[in-house]
Structure 1
Amino acid sequence: MKINLFIIAILLIMISCNSQGKRPIMGKTVYQQELNASFKDASISPLKKKDLRHFKGLDFFEVDSSYIVEAKLIKTENAPTFEMATTTERKPLYKEYGKLHFTLQGKNYELTIYQSQDDLDDVKYKDYLFLPFTDDTSGEASYGGGRYMDVMTTDITAENTVILNFNNTYNPYCAYNDKYSCPLTPRKNHLDLEIKAGIKVYKK
């Protein structure tokens, strides 16, 4: 009996040590936790090796439900395919998918949303739409090159409305590592207000 109790005690100590050795995934929402987990994973993280060693979690603005808005989508008919400018000479193919009209802090805004033509044959990404934007925090509290938001075609309602959650934004990989090629946010996608929600600028 004493031996069994001794073995159980040893097992409990080992479990406790293992649980203390693993750092919990940082983040106040599931989205933040999943993004931090992907950055912590060396096999997929965009971070440089030296930065990954000291990575403790990305910085976010406080979660604010006022930055979750319903937008009306006006689809762009017969949009031409174009080469989107990037931080390198790479020119990925995109089409303008439509215009998103929404109200934020009592004012009306419009953002253009795009569809990657290179991803249409990829089962994993064929339903993704690309929404890049800058705002009055860009270059200070948030990354100067702008932030991105993914919108799914499957989330667009029959009435052509879709929910935009600015809390669930992310930086282009270029914000972390200059080896990447990232689409440049078009000037027309600047919002003349501070979006104090979502991802902040990366500080090493």
Structure 2
Amino acid sequence: MTVQDIDRVDFVKQWEEWHRAKEEVLAGPHGFLAITGLHWLSPEPARFTDAPGAWSATADGVVVELAEGEELTVDGLVVHGRYAFGVLPERDSRYVGWGDAVLEVARRGGHDILRPRHPGTALRTAFRYTPAYDPDPRWAVTGRFLPFAEPRPVTVGAAVEGLEHVYDSPGQVEFELGGARHRLTAFNGSAPGGLMVLFTDSTSGVTTYAANRSLQIAPPGPDGTVILDFNRAANLPCAYTDLATCPLPPTENRLPVAVEAGERIPLERGGRP
């Protein structure tokens, strides 16, 4: 596909719909901007100011002990006293209700965490929008997926110092940009058969968020063809809040070119409108 093949009006409209939908999730009543705490659970029960109960991480998984008068709603049922969530798989989350708040019980980097989400938090209520480059079809780059014979585990850092994530990589994507050929290690994407890449580039820390951006890629064609639409290079939650455990790109995913497309540094981190 070439730039000439693209209906620019429709291209911009689709980008605007994508960006609007992403913003709605981010700033939703219980989106990432509503998080008030990142609590690392230990075997010793602990209470927190933004959640009821005493929480602990045991050999049998996360457990909460609710005092008299405290309750949570789990899967539509009101619970009191002791409740065990069981052992959560890595990168899994469960969400329980508490008044107008939602409590996320999750496992990240081998650790159990509790992240309360309150709609009234200032970060959420003050949110306006995320700055972004104007969408331009020339940043929709055709590339090729190069699968590995077997998925390879790849360890990456995290926004939280000392934390690591391990993802299975099905292969790499190769493409040309800025007069040179590049390869990015890919992970499984949000859509079945799709891919996702984490990357930085020469704009990182200048006009785009320094630590990372992510790009979802539609499933490869029969010949391995993929489209990397850098207009949809997206900020991860850590671009807005320190209460996120986002993964960092693998070392080889640091592009030596300026990708002046996609989302820019959020206003909350000092970005410009």
Name the TM-score, length of structure 2 as normaliser.
0.56
Alignment check: 8 A CA contact 2:178 2:257 kept: no
Q: Which has the higher strand share?
A: 2
Q: Which residue of 192, 197, 210 maps to 1:131? A: 197
User: What's the offset of the Cα at 1:125?
Assistant: 5.6
Does residue 182 in structure 1 map to residue 246 in structure 2? Answer: yes
- 1 or 2 for the larger relative contact order (CA 8 Å, sep ≥6)? 1
Output one character per residue of 1:134-171: Cα deviation in whole Å (capped at 9) or x when no partner. 0000011000002101124xx21000111110011211
User: What's the offset of the Cα at 1:47?
Assistant: 5.2
Q: Identity across aligned pairs (percent)?
A: 22
Q: Which residue of 27, 38, 47 maps to 1:40? A: 27
The aligned residue for residue 69 of structure 1 is 141
How far, CA to CA, are the matches of 2:132 and 2:204 in structure 1?
14
In structure 1, stretches of 5+ residues that fail to align are 1-26, 117-123
Q: SS at 1:111's partner residue?
A: strand
Alignment check: 8 A CA contact 1:47 1:177 kept: no
How far, CA to CA, are the matches of 1:47 and 1:175 in structure 2?
14
User: Residues 157 and 90 (structure 1 numbering): CA distance in 2 closer, same or farther, change over 3 Å?
Assistant: same
How far, CA to CA, are the matches of 1:147 and 1:139 in structure 2?
11
Name the TM-score, length of structure 1 as normaliser.
0.74
- Between 191-200 and 83-92, the greater mean CA deviation after superposition: 83-92
User: Residues 104 and 203 (structure 1 numbering): CA distance in 2 closer, same or farther, change over 3 Å?
Assistant: same
The aligned residue for residue 123 of structure 2 is 51
In structure 2, stretches of 5+ residues that fail to align are 1-13, 36-120, 269-273
One-letter amino acid of the counterpart of residue 195, structure 2:
L
Does residue 113 in structure 1 map to residue 100 in structure 2? Answer: no
Aligned pair count reads 169
The aligned residue for residue 207 of structure 2 is 141
The aligned residue for residue 79 of structure 1 is 151
Provide the alpha-carbon RMSD of the alignment: 2.2
Output one character per residue of 1:45-86: Cα deviation in whole Å (capped at 9) or x when no partner. 435621222211111011111110111111111233344322
User: What's the offset of the Cα at 1:200?
Assistant: 0.2
How far, CA to CA, are the matches of 1:114 and 1:200 in structure 2?
23
One-letter amino acid of the counterpart of residue 195, structure 1:
V
